[in-house]
Amino acid sequence: MRIWACAFAGSALAMSMGTATANDELMKLQKDANQWVMPTGDYANHRYSELNQINKDNVKNLTPQWTFSTGVLRGHEGAPLVIGDVMYVHAPFPNYVYALDLNKDARILWKYEPKQDPSVIPVMCCDTVNRGVAYADGKIFLNQADAHVVALDAKTGKEIWRVQNGDPKKGETMTAAPMIVKDKVIVGISGGEFGVQGRVTAYAIADGKMLWNAYSVGPDDQLKFDPDKTMAMGKPVGKDSSLQTWQGDQWKIGGGTTWGWYSYDPQLNLIYYGSGNPSTWNPVQRPGDNKWSMTIFARDVDTGVAKWVYQMTPHDEWDYDGVNEMILADIPVKGQTVKALVHFDRNGFGYTLNRENGQLLVAEKFDPKVNWASGIDMQTGRPKGVKEYSTQAGGEDHNSKQICPAALGSKDEQPAAFSPKTNVFYVPTNHVCMDYEPFKISYTAGQPYVGATLSMYPPQGEQNLGNFIAWDAGQGKILWSNSEPFSVWSGALATAGDVVFYGTLEGYLKAVDSATGKELYKFKTPSGIIGNVMTYMHGGKQSVAVLSGVGGWAGIGMAAGLTKDTDGLGAVGAYKALSNYTQLGGVLTVFALPN
Amino acid sequence: MRIWACAFAGSALAMSMGTATANDELMKLQKDANQWVMPTGDYANHRYSELNQINKDNVKNLTPQWTFSTGVLRGHEGAPLVIGDVMYVHAPFPNYVYALDLNKDARILWKYEPKQDPSVIPVMCCDTVNRGVAYADGKIFLNQADAHVVALDAKTGKEIWRVQNGDPKKGETMTAAPMIVKDKVIVGISGGEFGVQGRVTAYAIADGKMLWNAYSVGPDDQLKFDPDKTMAMGKPVGKDSSLQTWQGDQWKIGGGTTWGWYSYDPQLNLIYYGSGNPSTWNPVQRPGDNKWSMTIFARDVDTGVAKWVYQMTPHDEWDYDGVNEMILADIPVKGQTVKALVHFDRNGFGYTLNRENGQLLVAEKFDPKVNWASGIDMQTGRPKGVKEYSTQAGGEDHNSKQICPAALGSKDEQPAAFSPKTNVFYVPTNHVCMDYEPFKISYTAGQPYVGATLSMYPPQGEQNLGNFIAWDAGQGKILWSNSEPFSVWSGALATAGDVVFYGTLEGYLKAVDSATGKELYKFKTPSGIIGNVMTYMHGGKQSVAVLSGVGGWAGIGMAAGLTKDTDGLGAVGAYKALSNYTQLGGVLTVFALPN
């Protein structure tokens, strides 16, 4: 394959030429629909493919072509990569990585088996998931659970370098996929339930040297904020914009972790991502807006300096992490085509912003059951809270009932897809409400710093825990919605074949008509799907692939073996019926049309 | 479904009417090609189906219809059952059992999760396998790894009774599937590598009461031998036929375990099975023929008394267990149709006997590379040994080279199939040789009592570790042979559609032409296949199902995580390349023709 050969020929060049080549390579590769070169499909996080061999008329004939067990149980998030003739498949802890030869019936070219201390497992809040590896410059980049970032030789699987990006003894772990931009591997950190101070870090892809590091909460220098130039809602943030919103030193254990998806706009030279919940979940304990938790960040990729920020859920009372993906799309908003950033937040609002300056354009509920806020004030950007569903209003040890959405949000990390052909966003959602009781907790490094107990269940009078929806981000409107018995915890894929794919927690890969949502095909994979659907073309055949392997937050009961007396145990109780449909096990299933 | 309804209606009857009904029920059910009511397909161990919706012309269109992960890694032997609308799927340790509703997209009706002490794992010689559950009388019968036999309510999965059939602290474990005959569940015992005294035991299906127990080695009463009536090679065995062939009390730790398959001839009222190796593997330490290890037994199912025996490998020097299945078929042998018993032994000889009296009719090599014996003396039934490949001739600590087959035999437990349509046997085989060095060992209860070190590899000048062959048991001739890179460790299925199915260690389900062996279809399942292919008809569709999940003896290196410095480590070294093709993971894949 020419492209593969180029990639490796290019890697030697990149070594000597530095930043430009690696970037150019990825810029080019991400446009090749035959490959799937980054976990998000492309820098814009579209998860859209120009391939149309599989289309809405023939998708009913789709059949599994081959399958591959990862050798790991528990939750399989993320998706494989395809670079040339090689597929790279990752797994949850212990984070095996496989290179499969697509020319030789998926024979295993190499397997990487990190040695990790299993004591990291109980420090991972929501299963031992990993959302995938990244590729650039002849290397595969892996974020291990134990917060090591590793660069492997893509040809041999041999370790090239390794850096420690966090300390699991303090609850710092890694679950997010890295993103490569130019000469940098951009990584986040997990641990919002352990009081970890969230941050984003850029390492050199050549040798792992740290290039910059930017926190979500803390003093301006740690934030890489320019008080005069970093903007929020059209104004400079000013001095100590974060410190002023925390009591004393609470910011040091203040959360705002960065375990979601990253996107990049090459023209603006900005990367985008969101920060997670402020720690603890008990809002009474941490007065203030707790900036910049729950915030969309736009940072210059070269320097790490923030260009603009937007905090979606000031002073979070519900664990509505803001880490979900930022989808970059140039779409019509109120009659004008805008360089938009579209984000479906855990808090249940679908946001459309101008990604150049952070201007808020649209903010509407993408689940009509959302009740904690009646809407978003478009002037201030702040939610209009509903007192009944404030978990702080009743004080500690008061149980607030029927709050929608639940802590895991109207959508969690499971990424939406965007089709530039339809200008529509296809969004996997949760349809779950909760009772929430905050309680006082003190911080101990490495111990859970949660401070709330939860029950989760479907909205009153309903049975379904999820919907798969089509969304008009210019208008903030649901176009169609498919009800699903469980949350759709799989990433969507949109294609030029007018078919949208997603997986379900029972284990179905589903294909639906992008215009109507009509189900065109389904197949029951070995286990529940929390992986993201991807597609590629090899040997003249378009293939669609997805990891099954139930787990993640929704499947944590099964993944962690909590099967008895689960009512009231948050997601464990809400999803307990899942074990009637599927069992643990990590398997990649690859589909195509019959010959 | 009428049959299912009958089965359950029948179960209440059976409770009151006793033995006859349960037997009648199974006698009838095993003839219904729509179901697969015992692990062996039928009492004769044919593994043949009259279904022909899938045939040699259309099998190329076969496609996976659904898949199911068992939630367990390591080796998945055996096959599911289908009784009416319900499929019963078992798993290796911890021996989960699932009931799947075929009318509701394989929704899980119940899951049985035994609590077993994991200390049993290191006492299982050749992976934590289990070869399946049995059904009768509204109950599912499970042999647990920890040597408990359990009867479950087939409708609810609730435990009805449980008996302890052995002591894992002495190395007694269970891996074989139970067989139900009349009112009895017939079970064997594993542990030949731990000096376990092999035995077969019959328990009442109603309440687990022990009905009879018959040892393989020891005094006549323990053997349930009638010295005057139990026959061997046409003569009564005489008094103390076993004791006379052991030194002192060695028989008490003498092996002859019974972990293979069982068959039953309702007309003759006899059950058939084989006994395993004499313990220890060091032949120098145990002079004598070590009767009745390595022996085919025919026993009256009501009393357990042996009607006849035939020892294939007296004084074993190679670990050629005799436990492989006995296939009961009425076939032409030298011009006459004979009530035959056909057996493909680990020692590399394919035996055809008259199953009424144990008369030896045919004994020929089913792998031309077999070299430890030049043939079988048809008068005495004894092998004609070749001194060069005697592991005793050189004494202890002498390494005998290039012995074929290796300890795991020209075939192990992976069962062959027989088609009454072609009168041909379809045999999954190993093509492996070995170096063998016996050493002195002393017995400690619960500790390995092996006494030999081994290397395994393909025959000189060859690469392939296996063949799938067609065998004429009347003539003792290979009709065709398909070379496979690894041993075929999957059970075969023959069908009236002129298609034979088997799985490979790399994970392929293969369909071949029963007349020629020509490959007609293959599909790569998630993991290596050591399970047995089965078929059933549901909703008007013939389905073919197989468990993948690499492991077992051939896959023990992967199953037990032994991946480094494996040369010389028996099977671990021989099959180390397997990890280039597949990884652990238990998944059922169900195939059918497209709509």
Nearest to A73 among B71, B527, B582 (CB): B71
Nearest CA in chain B to A68: B526
Distance CA B295, CA B556 (A): 26
Q: Which residues of B touch A67 (CB under 8 A)?
A: 64, 67, 507, 524-526, 587, 589
Nearest CA in chain A to B63: A63
Nearest CA in chain B to A526: B68
Contact B583, A68 (CB under 8 A): yes
Count other C-beta atoms under 10 Å from residue A248's C-beta: 7
Nearest to B70 among A111, A507, A585 (CB): A585
Q: Which amino acid is at B471?
A: W
Q: Which residues of B touch A68 (CB under 8 A)?
A: 524, 526, 582-583
Q: Which residues of A touch B586 (CB under 8 A)?
A: 585
Q: Which of residues 491-520 of B touch A (CB under 8 A)?
A: 507
Supply the pLDDT for residue A4. Answer: 36
Supply the pLDDT for residue B20. Answer: 52
Supply the pLDDT for residue A9. Answer: 38
Contact yes or no for B68 and A105 at CB 8 A: no
Nearest to A106 among B524, B579, B585 (CB): B524
Contact B495, B534 (CB under 8 A): no
Contact yes or no for B548 and A69 at CB 8 A: yes
Instruction: Pick out chain A residues at pLDDT < 50.
Output: 1-19
pLDDT tens-digit readout, A158-192 = 999 999 999 999 999 999 999 999 999 999 999 99
Nearest to A524 among B61, B66, B527 (CB): B66
| A594 touches B at CB < 8 Å | yes
Query: B442 to chain A, minimum CA–CA distance in Å?
Result: 37
| B175 touches A at CB < 8 Å | no
Nearest to A584 among B64, B69, B549 (CB): B69
Nearest CA in chain B to A594: B61
β-pairing, B508-513 vs B519-524, is antiparallel
Nearest to B524 among A73, A105, A108 (CB): A105
| B69 touches A at CB < 8 Å | yes
Distance CA B270, CA B358 (A): 12
| A70 touches B at CB < 8 Å | yes
Q: Quote the strand ranges of B258-371, DSSP E.
A: 263-265, 270-274, 295-300, 306-311, 326-333, 336-344, 349-354, 360-365
Query: A520 to chain B, minimum CA–CA distance in Å?
Result: 15
DSSP characters over A258-291? --S--EEETTTTEEEEE--PBS-S-GGGS-S--T
Nearest CA in chain B to A563: B113
| B564 touches A at CB < 8 Å | no
Q: Which residues of A touch B107 (CB under 8 A)?
A: 580-581
Distance CA B373, CA B383 (A): 6
What Cα–Cα distance (Å) separates residue B405 from each residue in B115, B261, B273, B369, B428? Answer: 38, 21, 22, 7, 14
Query: B277 to chain A, minimum CA–CA distance in Å?
Result: 33
Q: Which residues of B touch A549 (CB under 8 A)?
A: 69
Residue B347: closest CA among B392, B417, B412, B302: B412
Contact yes or no for B73 and A73 at CB 8 A: yes
Q: Quote the strand ranges of A448-532, DSSP E.
A: 452-457, 466-472, 477-484, 493-495, 499-503, 508-513, 519-524, 530-531
Q: Which of residues 409-428 of B touch A (CB under 8 A)?
A: none
Residue labelled with tokens 């915890």: A489
| B350 touches A at CB < 8 Å | no
Query: A257 to chain B, minimum CA–CA distance in Å?
Result: 32
Q: How many CB pairs under 8 A join A and B?
A: 105
| B561 touches A at CB < 8 Å | no
Helix, strand or coil, per DSSP, at residue B25: helix
SS (H, E, C) A62-127: CEEEEEEECCCCCCCEECCEEECCEEEEECCCCCCEEEEEHHHCCEEEEEECCCCCHHHHHHCECE
Contact yes or no for B583 and A108 at CB 8 A: yes
Contact A274, A323 (CB under 8 A): yes
**What does residue B19 show for φ and ψ, rounded to 5 degrees?**
-55, -45
Residue B350: closest CA among B290, B296, B279, B307: B296
Between CA B412 and CA B416, with CA B415 as vertex, the angle to 5 degrees is 115
Helices (H) and strands (E) in chain A, counts: 5, 42
Nearest to A63 among B63, B549, B585 (CB): B63
| A581 touches B at CB < 8 Å | yes
Active-site residue set of B: 319
Q: Which residues of B touch A579 (CB under 8 A)?
A: 108, 111
The ipTM is: 0.94
Nearest CA in chain B to A97: B583
Supply the pLDDT for residue A12. Answer: 38
Q: Which residues of B touch A525 (CB under 8 A)?
A: 67
Taking each helix axis from N to C end, the angle separating A19-29 and A2-17, rounded to the nearest 10 degrees, works out to 160
Active-site residue set of A: 319
Supply the pLDDT for residue B567. Answer: 65
Q: Which residues of B touch A581 (CB under 8 A)?
A: 107-108
Q: Which residues of B touch A61 (CB under 8 A)?
A: 594
Supply the pLDDT for residue B458. Answer: 96
Nearest to A64 among B64, B527, B582 (CB): B64
List per-residue pLDDT tens for chain B, 595 residues long.
Answer: 333 333 333 343 434 444 456 678 999 999 999 999 999 999 999 999 999 999 999 999 999 999 999 999 999 999 999 999 999 999 999 999 999 999 999 999 999 999 999 999 999 989 999 999 999 999 999 999 999 999 999 999 999 999 999 999 999 999 999 999 999 999 999 999 999 999 999 999 999 999 999 999 999 999 999 999 999 999 999 999 999 999 999 999 999 999 999 999 999 999 999 999 999 999 999 999 999 999 999 999 999 999 999 999 999 999 999 999 999 999 999 899 999 999 999 999 999 999 999 999 999 999 999 999 999 999 999 999 999 999 999 999 999 999 999 999 999 999 999 999 999 999 999 999 999 999 999 999 999 999 999 999 999 999 999 999 999 999 999 999 999 999 999 999 999 999 999 999 999 999 999 999 999 999 999 999 999 999 999 999 999 999 999 999 999 999 998 876 666 678 888 899 999 999 999 999 999 999 8
Contact yes or no for A587 and B73 at CB 8 A: no
Contact yes or no for B585 and A589 at CB 8 A: no
Nearest CA in chain B to A527: B69
Contact yes or no for B523 and A71 at CB 8 A: no
Supply the pLDDT for residue B8. Answer: 39
